[in-house]
Amino acid sequence: MDEKRRRCPCGTGDLFASCCGPILGGRPAPTAERLMRSRYTAFARRDEAYLLRSWHPSTRPSSLDLDDGVRWLGLEILGTEAGGPFDREGVVSFIARYRDGAERGALHEVSRFTREGREWRYLDGVTG
């Protein structure tokens, strides 16, 4: 199927080309939640460069080791605090479901984001 006609992995139901595609391509995410969704999509697509680029420099690792065996199955946003277009900080709570070989699992994280100028960046997260 043509990349432009595929549904976005982030779970909005929108087409990738009009959802996370432009953000992965360099357009700023308007909210912390949209950045979270684009980062999930980047994990699903194994886009290490975008993940590092969208990470705040104060907490960004020098590289990532993305596991080839992990397949991301779905994202559920549980809640947000602030993180809107006029906020400086935001929090997004989510569950990301995955399969690793024969095992299925879920990652629950509460992520913190910060905005500098027009750019939202992932700061850090607590899993649980």
Cβ atoms of 23 and 35 closer than 8 Å: yes
> Residue 83 and residue 30: Cα distance in Å, rounded?
9
| pTM for the model | 0.95
pLDDT the model gives residue 5:
81
- Name all contacts of 59-62 with Cβ < 8 Å and 24+ positions apart: 59/122, 59/123, 59/124
pLDDT of res. 3:
65
- The arithmetic mean of pLDDT across residues 7-13, rounded, is 96
